[in-house]
Amino acid sequence: MSKRDLKKYLGELTKGQLEEQLIELYEKFAPVKTYYDFVFNPKEDKLLQEAKVKISQEYFPIKKPGAKWRPKAKMRRSVAQKLIKHFIMLGVDSYIVADIMLYNIEIAQTFSSQNLIKQELFYKSIFNSFDQAVNFIISNGIFNDFKLRINSIYEETLQQKWKNKYDFEAILDKIDY
């Protein structure tokens, strides 16, 4: 069904029928419920804190009470990517999305400063996250607000002597930093 056909169909429904359909969608589909829950009660700060905890758990998992061992860090970039995509879909403020994008990189750098990471994919993945974050921040016109954090991330790649530190530098050179 095209958008035009949908508009025509919805135009033919009474207000009561529209309400019934929306309630049915709300009850039947979790994404619809999530969307409306956010629209009517957008606790962005709470969402941000929950997202930061989930991302932190990827690198610094918490030992469960009573457990004999501490879980190993999984370092999955996909967890942060899903959260970022979800935030964008909900229409969360671009400052919050940018904050979580940069936080993901910063927590990964904190982890790598304390642990030897041999997988080249880790560094490439963090670079991809950096590239996406900088592009998002520029496209939303909020670069000056995040300039210091972006520079700190770049400086940390130099400090830790990442092999792909020049890729980070190339991004900053492109934007006439």
pLDDT digits (tens, 9 = 90+) for 90-126: 889 999 999 999 999 999 999 999 999 999 999 999 9
**Per residue in 84-95, pLDDT tens?**
999 998 889 999
pLDDT tens digits for 124-160?
999 999 999 999 999 999 999 999 999 999 999 999 9
pTM for this predicted structure: 0.80
pLDDT higher than 90, residue 46: no
Q: What is the 3-state secondary structure (H, E, C) of the chain?
A: CCHHHHHHHHHHCCHHHHHHHHHHHHHHCHHHHHHHHHHHCCCHHHHHHHHHHHHHHHHCCCCCCCCCCCCCCCCCHHHHHHHHHHHHHHCCCHHHHHHHHHHHHHHHHHHHHHCCCCCHHHHHHHHHHHHHHHHHHHHCCCHHHHHHHHHHHHHHHHHCCCCCHHHHHHHHHHCCC
Q: Enumerate the domain spans of the chain.
A: 1-41, 43-174
Mean pLDDT for the chain overall: 90
Given a cut of 60, whether residue 177 has pLDDT beyond it is: no
